[in-house]
Amino acid sequence: MGNLCSLFAPPKPVKKRRPISKRLPNPQSSGAGSGPNSNRWSRARSSSSRRDKFEDAVIQEHALAAAAILFRQQNGGGGRDGGSLPFDRSASQRYPVSGSKKNQLPRSSSSRSRSSTDPLLQPHQFLNQGIKLDELETNHFVLIHGGGFGAWCWYKTIALLEEDGFKVTAVDLAGCGINSFNINGIASLSQFVKPLTDILEKLAIGEKVILVGHDFGGACISYAMELFPTKISKAIFLAAAMLTNGQSTLDMFSLQAGQTDLMKKAQIFIYTNGNENPPTAIDLDKSLLRDLLFNQSPSKDIALASVSMRSIPFAPVLEKLSLSDLKYGSVRRYYIETLEDNAIPVTLQENMVNSSPPEKVYRLKGADHAPFFSKPQALHKLLLEIARISPT
């Protein structure tokens, strides 16, 4: 899919030093265009042009690399029914660092220089603090995106967890990401979450995973918890819909006193079956994405989201969940609140926590509705902390 960005940028070109040579004055040159100030201005314009061309080339290379990776997954990885393709690897392949230096991060295939936005924490920093993967109940994270998102939104989280040795599966739900299912044809929550339930159903006997659900993904993992409680070690709700029995996601949003004008303006209902019938999907106005979802996120991630987000199926949002204490209630739950969230404000998150208290609540300061973009390192640290909580 050409609109997905590669995790790592290509190396910066090394400028070759030109040999020093004396220039003879040109007796025929005269006027403002031949003076030293004009030469400096020409060089500045030339440098700016080269820089613009280089940045365009970088963006194009990102898109081509991501498209190639997804093409290989689709054609060589063996898809699932309905076009579901789990995005269970990060978008770059890592190779060990050559040389004798210890405790270095693995280099990416791009081999570029570190930038100020790169993670500063190295994998061994957490592993040396007491995390031993073979002593955990499970080292497998399954990441479930929210409404309109896809597996692509987890690219930073995937990379950080994989560098710590965890197995990571980021799922594209039906009609999302690179899943080809018609979003307007989704009539139930079970149909929407089938790519997730397929994965859980195929787990070996005794194998467990940690589910992480973001936004509407909270309702999706709740549905899975009711079906496969013995296959889920822990469930983490990340700024997510954590519902009670008989409640729908729409019911949850209706609890928000005075829905913000921003949310109302952003919603675009799609009526594939005609205006006399209920909507089939919801779109979000891309001009309002920054203020609604990404008010603390980097611009490059907002750009990624603006070309990658898809419609949200409406029927699953209306569906009321059937959750039992025996099954859903037997799975250990954790909630991560995002304190700068404009889509699901912290007051609404706390209402859900109070209605159905989880085992523990964490708070991410400075995180908007997309903490995997705005606070990837802090989110990563919390996921590791939850992963190493011992079984009861």
Catalytic residues: 215, 341, 369
Helices and strands in the chain, H and E counts: 14, 11
Of the chain, the end-to-end C-alpha distance in Å amounts to: 43
Q: What is the DSSP string of 53-84?
A: HHHHHHHHHHHHHHHHHHHHHHHHS---GGG-
- Collapsing DSSP to helix, strand or coil, 114 comes out as coil
Dig out the tokens for 282 from the structure.
Answer: 């919801």
- How far apart are the C-alpha atoms of 289 and 39, rounded to whole Å? 44
Q: According to DSSP H, which parts of 228-292 are helical?
A: 249-254, 261-266, 289-292
User: Taking the C-alpha atoms of 60, 65, 70 and 72 in order, what is their torsion angle to the nearest 10 degrees?
Assistant: 140
* Residue 76: half-sphere exposure toward Cβ, Cα within 13 Å: 6
Helix axes 376-387, 155-163, angle to 10 degrees: 50
Under a CB-based contact definition with an 8 Å cutoff, are residues 237 and 335 in contact? yes
Contacts of 46 by beta carbon, 8 Å cutoff, 6+ apart: none
- How far apart are the C-alpha atoms of 110 and 92, rounded to whole Å? 8
